[in-house]
Structure 1
Amino acid sequence: MQHRTWPMPEWLQLSGQFVTLSPLDLERDVAALYTASHGTPEKETVWNYLPYGSFDSPLAMKDWMKQEMIDPIDVRPWTVFENATNAQVGVVALRAIVPDYGCAEIGDVWFTPTVQKSNVNTESQYLLLLHLFDHHTYRRVGWECHSLNHASRTTAARMGFLYEGRFRQHMWVKGKNRDTDWFAMTDKEWSRCKANFERWLYGDEKISLMELNNG
């Protein structure tokens, strides 16, 4: 039987109605991203459940991003620009990309509090899923999060990712245990989820995405 492989996802600009995902550029983006995520307790809540951050300085953030997001061959990071303001408001990435299997994970997701609970997060994830499923015909996209991160768990469920289980004592992060919850969406579920994304993002009907995907 012939072995099939999938392409490595192209690392290019992804444009939507509310956001533009631009490949992370350390020189262009780090200062703005640092300011958006540091300086007040509210801003720094974005790091509560991530295994890294906050950072002592923009230089420390830049060095970490280079080592962990730019250099690895299985990571593709994007800076999220809010179209209305043309401001850098967060980061999303594809991680654990395995072209041999047509699989990847969405990770390193954070948004400044000013755009949380807006279309910014939802359209950012939609653009990544569209990129993987429609343009690269991937088979599976994973989502993992700290088991105590209710916002991330809810985000995964409302977008149509299915819960697959919990890895107990999966990590030791910032001096504490982390149990990790795993979600995934497959190409078999994408068509329905895609239609629900588009209905919620661009349609006139006022119905929650969670209701659409659980209906």
Structure 2
Amino acid sequence: MSNTNKYGQQVGFSLPDWQPVAFPERCLKKGLHCQLEPLEVSHCEALFEAFSQAKDDRDWTWLGAEKPASLQEMMNWIAHKIEDSQLVAWAVTDVKNSRAVGVVCFNNIDTVNGALEIGHVTWSPLMQRTVLGTEAIYLLLKYAFSLGYRRVVWRCDSLNVASRYAAERVGFTFEGRFRQAMTRKQRNRDTDWLSVIDGEWQVIEKALAQWLSPDNFTGNGAQKRKLETFFKDSSLAR
């Protein structure tokens, strides 16, 4: 959408009431299946145990850090995220046992332009192939747009197919690829960019909320309908 100025030039649509938005707070976000708790060093033991469920380090291939090999390394990894003033970091906890099973952050937070990124996504094997990851992203999107942000970004290594699929599955739109955007672990990284913008959120929120509803799951936690079917029912066909 665009407007025409007095010179006949195409310009972006008007935002006459736009004001910078608030920086997100480190606050508890409750869901049906998981909670986002402000990340604390006290989560160290549970997270170390959760990540130790993996047989190898393949889940850390595309991450900036190496998998912590000890409680002390896990503590240092957590402390670094807590101390970084440019991050808002959460531990993802399973409501069934209140144990931390993953970590996620807001980063690249631009309050002036109303944009931020969901990043540092680090799911343990206890989250994989469960509803927890989807609900965690849903809670973050809901929080960002409730604060008035206009754009939520997801970036990933172009070769991290699982990460891009996870983002597209919950409503993010692929925007493009930055070639040779960075180096990571002595390798080249091309970066894929995806986003959700505020004008899309109402439809995406409805689809996610319907999929996350207890009515959509059996007693043993199996989904009755896939998320993509709720998007197909909405005005935003995936």
Q: How does 1:118-157 map to 2 (within 5 A)?
A: 118-134=130-146, 136-157=147-168
Give the Cα separation in 2 of the matches to 1:40 and 1:187: 36
Deviations 1:41-87 (A, max 9, x none): 24x332121111212322223223323x2222221000011011221
Give the Cα separation in 2 of the matches to 1:95 and 1:113: 23
Contact 1:143 1:182 in 2 (8 A): yes
Shift, 1:204, TM fit: 3.6
Contact 1:38 1:54 in 2 (8 A): no
Correspondence for 1:60: 73
Q: How does 1:43-122 map to 2 (within 5 A)?
A: 44-67=57-80, 69-122=81-134
Q: Paired residues, what number? A: 211
Match among 9, 18, 21 for residue 33 of structure 2: 18
Match among 200, 203, 225 for residue 207 of structure 1: 225
Contact 1:37 1:46 in 2 (8 A): no
Give the Cα separation in 2 of the matches to 1:12 and 1:111: 20
Identity %: 35
Runs of 4+ residues deviating >6 angstroms: none
Shift, 1:33, TM fit: 1.1
Give the Cα separation in 1 of the matches to 2:68 and 2:212: 34
Shift, 1:37, TM fit: 1.3
Gaps (5+ residues) in structure 1?
none
2:163 aligns to what SS in structure 1?
A: helix
1:114 aligns to what SS in structure 2?
A: coil
Q: TM-score, normalised by structure 2?
A: 0.82
Gaps (5+ residues) in structure 2?
1-15, 217-223, 232-236
Contact 2:54 2:124 in 1 (8 A): no
Correspondence for 2:174: 163
Give the Cα separation in 1 of the matches to 2:102 and 2:34: 11
Kindly name which structure, 1 or 2, has the bigger radius of gyration based on alpha carbons: 2
Q: For the structure 1 residues 212 and 34, does the alpha-carbon distance in structure 2 shift closer, same or farther, using more than 3 Å as the test? A: same
